[in-house]
């Protein structure tokens, strides 16, 4: 209660006994309480509240209206009676001699915090709700229409669909709402902006509570971006596995930074983690290969050491595999710039010229090409878009050879000849493996850390095969790419050891899979030596987790079959690198010799025979088997959540470019963060914001044909009539 209020209150009740039963306070009041009387109330001392105020109840009351039960009665400093709502603490003058009851009664019927009013003010409609799994069927039901819910849904639509705030003032939308919900009062753009920010604040509180209760440790990805406003932004995305063994991804920061230097990145990351209460929960940081990120990771490693993190942050830094693949591929494309430039020129002529597009369609119809692929113009700095351009263009090479290009496309930018088209086809075959691999490692809705090591082994296997190819172009590209591969992944000892631990925590591979793969990649001697170092590291990690999360129930010592010394994996067939490893594991487990005494939970996990449930999703397996391996399950929750690429953070910049565009350049960084983070938190986990206009071109063309056909039929009907 405010200081202006007296310490003397009276609780409306029919008798003091009723009041005593309902009151939660038990301490008696001092005897030195002055009793005050009014013509309509007899006040007497009763009990004392936890906040020190003395409450008095009415022995007799002439006010019998039901709404007085939901009000506290007290005397103010002027000894005037006031009524305070029990739910929202709003107060009104309530002296019976000078004040009426209109305001008190009106507030009682409209108080938003009164549980009795939750069902009031809602209009019910009859609707047909579709029945799941039954197409065309629906059931009739009542649905409440609450105008507050409509306004909340409008704010969510603005955030999720990346609409400008001025959208609510558009004439067409106002007309639509006047038909759909006439009772809804349309807010202004300033009001809807405040609503959107309030939604962000509410969701932030929910996410903070979720992180506090369901997050063990987080692995983050971060990247920087410069907006059209020339403001440097940093995006920080947290990845973790919750208590229900579901992989979670949340953007927890999208803030401006002073520069792209290492310290300017490290300090905001630390401040953000502090604000979320995650400084002592940081596990790894996945970044690209910029030198400034090395400095930032060093800054964060010192922070982890101060907080006492796992392994003192020694393996905090995780390099983005997608960026390394990008560097490897560009080294291989250096000798094929001319054929790529000529292909880009003819595609650009068709895409950017109405006359060129019309000519292209005519030649396609003459050649009777039924390919549904449409031409795609690449971004020269993104090799994956270059691959898409080459892949679609080489399907129409016969069309380009029949097209006569203008003079500005002659010379070095003329249409590719037959020899260059052959090179383009080879490049498509060569790049397809890296393109598919990049798509697989860029996912953020499924675990990727347990497959990173096999992806690296697959790349090495491909490069080794291409270096002995009969095609000189393949050999040249493979040698150049192998040099870049060796720079980052040639020395396995310099790689983050958590890469191997993630494979060990996959029940389909365990330590046996790591050892076979290393022997296959680097030979028996070196592979076995590296495998022993991996085993030593995994034991150290297990001991550290055991000290932190010692199980309550002491493990019973069990016996199990031991693993024999593995032989190098045979090169084989059409199976992929990863599937070959699995086949070798099954063979060697079935041929294992003898048994030995197993003393620890980690040994028991490694030596346990594979069962049928190993084929399940890795998180599902750990959810079912975690109680049998409580300490290892804790370790798996942290290691399996590690992202191997920064695509999750980079994708936020695409949304940022749509929010902070040339038409919304006055958007403040605070509001930009609210929109980017709010969209990520409100969007369902399975939703995607990607939109590829090129893939929809065929559908649009078919729609245009259908409309032309419909117009022709309407004209024929009109003429007939």
pLDDT tens by residue, 427-457: 888 888 888 888 888 777 888 888 888 888 8
Both tokens assigned to 549 = 């999360």
| Among candidate residues 516, 515, 526, the one with its CA nearest the CA of residue 583 | 516
Pick from 120-134, 246-260, 395-409, 513-527: least confident: 120-134
The residue among 425 and 22 whose pLDDT is bigger is 425
| Among candidate residues 42, 106, 52, the one with its CA nearest the CA of residue 73 | 42
Same domain membership, residue 512 and residue 546: yes
Instruction: Say if 215 falls within a structural domain.
Output: no
Instruction: Say if 211 falls within a structural domain.
Output: no
Alpha helices, H only, 124-170: 147-160
pLDDT over threshold 60, residue 37:
no
pLDDT value for 99: 80
Instruction: Say if 42 falls within a structural domain.
Output: yes
Same domain membership, residue 578 and residue 435: yes
Distances (CA, A) of 124 to 142, 144, 354, 573: 6, 4, 53, 66
Q: Which residues contact 314 (CB under 8 A, 6 or more apart)?
A: 301
Same domain membership, residue 127 and residue 110: no
pLDDT value for 704: 57
Distance of alpha carbon 115 from the chain centroid: 35
Instruction: Say if 420 falls within a structural domain.
Output: yes
Q: What is the pLDDT of residues 223-240, one digit of tens each?
A: 887 877 778 888 899 999
pLDDT over threshold 90, residue 460:
no
Pick from 28-32, 315-319, 542-546, 695-699: least confident: 28-32
pLDDT value for 141: 67
Q: Is the pTM of this model over 0.85?
A: no
Instruction: Say if 20 falls within a structural domain.
Output: yes
DSSP string, 416-467: P-HHHHHHHHHHHHHHHHHHHHHHHHT-SSS--GGGHHHHHHHHHHHHHHHT
> What count of residues does the chain have?
721
What's the domain range around 427? 334-639
pLDDT value for 489: 82
pLDDT value for 633: 92
The set of long-range contacts for 689-696, using a CB threshold of 8 Å and a minimum separation of 24, is 689/651, 689/654, 689/655, 694/374, 694/375, 694/376, 695/374
Strand partners, 317: 285
pLDDT value for 137: 61
pLDDT value for 173: 94
Same domain membership, residue 570 and residue 626: yes
Mean pLDDT of 240-253: 92
Same domain membership, residue 476 and residue 347: yes
User: What are φ and ψ of residue 93, in 5° steps?
Assistant: -70, 130
Pick from 201-215, 254-268, 412-426, 654-668: least confident: 654-668
Whether 691 and 161 have beta carbons less than 8 Å apart is answered as no
Same domain membership, residue 167 and residue 46: no
Using the CB atoms, write b or e for 104-117: b if 16+ within 10 Å. beebbeebeebeee
State whether the Cα torsion 16-17-22-25 is positive or negative: positive
- Residue 165 CA to residue 663 CA, distance in Å, equals 12
Among 117, 152, 171, the domain-final residue is 117
Instruction: Say if 273 falls within a structural domain.
Output: yes
CA angle 426, 430, 435 (to 5 degrees): 130
Alpha helices, H only, 135-261: 147-160, 171-180, 189-214
Q: Which residues contact 386 (CB under 8 A, 6 or more apart)?
A: 333, 340, 378, 379, 380
Cβ-count burial of 578 within 10 angstroms (0-12 exposed, 13-18 middle, 19+ buried)?
middle
pLDDT value for 260: 83
Q: Which residues contact 53 (CB under 8 A, 6 or more apart)?
A: 1, 7, 9
Instruction: Say if 286 falls within a structural domain.
Output: yes
Whether 90 and 109 have beta carbons less than 8 Å apart is answered as no
User: What are φ and ψ of residue 634, in 5° steps?
Assistant: -60, -40
- Residue 29 CA to residue 627 CA, distance in Å, equals 54
- Residue 504 pLDDT level (bands cut at 50, 70, 90): very high
- Residue 526 pLDDT level (bands cut at 50, 70, 90): confident
Q: What is the pLDDT of residues 637-684, one digit of tens each?
A: 999 999 988 876 655 545 545 555 555 556 788 888 899 899 999 987
pLDDT value for 79: 76
- Residue 691 pLDDT level (bands cut at 50, 70, 90): very low
Whether 482 and 475 have beta carbons less than 8 Å apart is answered as no
Same domain membership, residue 66 and residue 52: yes
pLDDT value for 102: 82
Whether 263 and 296 have beta carbons less than 8 Å apart is answered as yes
Same domain membership, residue 441 and residue 306: no
pLDDT over threshold 80, residue 208:
yes
Distance of alpha carbon 492 from the chain centroid: 31
Side-by-side strand order, sheet with 71-76:
43-48, 54-58, 5-11, 71-76, 81-85, 91-93
* 440-454, 556-570, 573-587, 647-661, range with greatest mean pLDDT: 440-454
pLDDT over threshold 60, residue 268:
yes
Q: What is the pLDDT of residues 353-377, one digit of tens each?
A: 777 778 787 777 777 776 656 787 8
Both tokens assigned to 572 = 């084989």
pLDDT over threshold 50, residue 380:
yes
Same domain membership, residue 367 and residue 236: no
Pick from 416-420, 624-628, 638-642: least confident: 416-420
pLDDT over threshold 70, residue 45:
no
Percentages (nearest 5) of helix, strand, coil residues in the chain: 55, 15, 30
Helix (H) / strand (E) containing 10: strand 5-11
Both tokens assigned to 396 = 């129409």
Same domain membership, residue 179 and residue 298: no
pLDDT over threshold 60, residue 598:
no
pLDDT over threshold 90, residue 49:
no
- Residue 721 pLDDT level (bands cut at 50, 70, 90): low
Q: What is the pLDDT of residues 60-101, one digit of tens each?
A: 455 678 888 888 888 877 778 888 888 888 888 888 778 888
Whether 319 and 299 have beta carbons less than 8 Å apart is answered as no
Whether 581 and 453 have beta carbons less than 8 Å apart is answered as no
The set of long-range contacts for 464-473, using a CB threshold of 8 Å and a minimum separation of 24, is 466/430, 471/426, 473/335, 473/336, 473/423, 473/426
pLDDT over threshold 70, residue 417:
yes
Same domain membership, residue 308 and residue 193: no
Q: What is the number of alpha carbons within 13 Å of residue 373 lying toward its C-beta? A: 13
Instruction: Say if 233 falls within a structural domain.
Output: yes
* DSSP reduced 3-state for 240: strand
Same domain membership, residue 112 and residue 127: no
Distances (CA, A) of 718 to 169, 379, 709, 715, 721: 40, 49, 14, 5, 5
Among 97, 117, 137, the domain-final residue is 117
Mean pLDDT of 119-136: 58
Mean pLDDT, the chain, whole residue set: 75
If one counts the domains in the chain, the total is 5
């Amino acid at each position: 209660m405010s200081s202006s209020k007296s310490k003397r209150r009276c609780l409306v009740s029919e008798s003091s006994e009723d009041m005593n039963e309902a009151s939660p306070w038990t301490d008696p009041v001092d005897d030195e309480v002055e009793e005050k009387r009014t013509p309509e109330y007899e006040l007497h001392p009763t009990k004392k509240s936890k906040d020190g105020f003395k409450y008095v109840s009415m022995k007799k009351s002439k006010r019998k209206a039901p709404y007085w039960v939901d009000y506290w009665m007290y005397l103010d400093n002027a000894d005037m009676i006031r009524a305070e709502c029990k739910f929202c603490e709003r107060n009104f003058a309530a002296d019976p001699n000078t004040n009426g009851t209109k305001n008190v009664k009106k507030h009682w019927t409209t108080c938003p915090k009164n549980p009795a009013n939750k069902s009031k003010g809602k209009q019910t409609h009859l609707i047909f709700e579709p029945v799941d799994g039954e197409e065309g069927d629906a059931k009739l039901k009542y649905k409440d229409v609450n105008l507050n819910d409509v306004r909340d849904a409008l704010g969510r639509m603005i955030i999720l669909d990346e609409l400008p705030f001025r959208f609510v003032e558009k004439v067409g939308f106002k007309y639509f709402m006047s038909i759909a919900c006439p009772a809804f009062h349309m807010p202004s753009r300033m009001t809807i902006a405040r609503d959107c920010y309030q939604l962000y604040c509410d969701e932030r509180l929910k996410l903070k509570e979720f992180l506090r209760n369901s997050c063990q440790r987080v692995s983050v990805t971060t990247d920087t971006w410069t907006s059209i406003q020339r403001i440097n932004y940093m995006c920080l995305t947290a990845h973790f596995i919750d208590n229900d063994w579901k992989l979670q991804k949340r953007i927890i920061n999208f803030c401006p930074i002073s520069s792209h230097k290492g310290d300017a990145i490290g300090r905001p990351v630390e401040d953000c983690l502090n604000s979320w209460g995650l400084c002592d929960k940081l596990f790894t940081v996945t970044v690209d290969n910029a030198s400034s990120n090395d400095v930032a990771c060093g800054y964060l490693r010192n922070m982890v050491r101060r907080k006492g993190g796992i392994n003192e942050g020694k393996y905090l830094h995780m390099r983005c595999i997608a960026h390394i693949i990008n560097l490897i591929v560009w080294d291989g494309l250096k000798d094929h710039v001319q054929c790529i430039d000529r292909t880009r020129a003819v595609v650009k002529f068709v895409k950017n010229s109405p006359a060129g597009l019309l000519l292209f369609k005519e030649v396609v119809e003459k050649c009777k090409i039924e390919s549904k692929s449409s031409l795609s113009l690449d971004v020269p700095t993104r090799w994956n878009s270059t691959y898409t351009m080459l892949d679609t263009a080489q399907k129409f090479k016969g069309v380009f050879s029949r097209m006569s290009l203008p003079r500005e496309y002659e010379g070095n930018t003329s249409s590719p000849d037959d020899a260059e088209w052959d090179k383009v086809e080879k490049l498509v075959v060569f790049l397809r493996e890296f393109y598919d691999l990049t798509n697989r490692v860029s996912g953020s809705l499924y675990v990727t850390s347990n497959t990173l090591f096999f992806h690296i082994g697959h790349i090495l296997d491909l490069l080794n095969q291409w270096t002995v190819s009969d095609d000189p172009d393949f050999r040249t590209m493979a040698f150049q790419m192998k040099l870049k591969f060796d720079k980052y992944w040639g020395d396995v000892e310099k790689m983050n050891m958590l890469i191997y631990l993630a494979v060990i925590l996959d029940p389909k591979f365990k330590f046996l899979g790591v050892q076979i793969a290393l022997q296959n990649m680097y030979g028996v001697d070196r592979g076995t030596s590296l495998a022993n170092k991996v085993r030593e590291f995994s034991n150290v990690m297990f001991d550290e987790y055991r000290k932190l999360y010692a199980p309550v129930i002491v493990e019973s010592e069990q016996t199990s079959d031991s693993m024999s010394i593995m032989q190098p994996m045979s090169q084989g067939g059409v199976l992929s690198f990863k599937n070959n490893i699995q086949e070798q594991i099954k063979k060697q487990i079935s041929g294992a010799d003898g048994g030995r005494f197993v003393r620890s939970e980690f040994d028991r996990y490694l030596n346990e025979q594979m069962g049928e449930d190993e084929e399940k999703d890795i998180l599902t397996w750990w959810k079912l088997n975690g109680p049998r391996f409580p300490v290892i399950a804790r370790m798996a929750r942290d290691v399996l959540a590690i992202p191997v690429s920064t695509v999750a953070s980079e994708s936020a910049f695409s949304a940022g470019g749509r929010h902070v565009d040339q038409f919304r350049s006055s958007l403040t960084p605070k509001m930009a963060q609210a929109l980017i983070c709010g969209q990520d938190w409100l969007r369902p986990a399975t939703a995607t914001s990607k939109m590829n206009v090129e893939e929809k071109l065929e559908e649009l063309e078919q729609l245009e044909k259908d409309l032309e056909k419909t117009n022709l039929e309407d004209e024929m009907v009109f003429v007939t009539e």
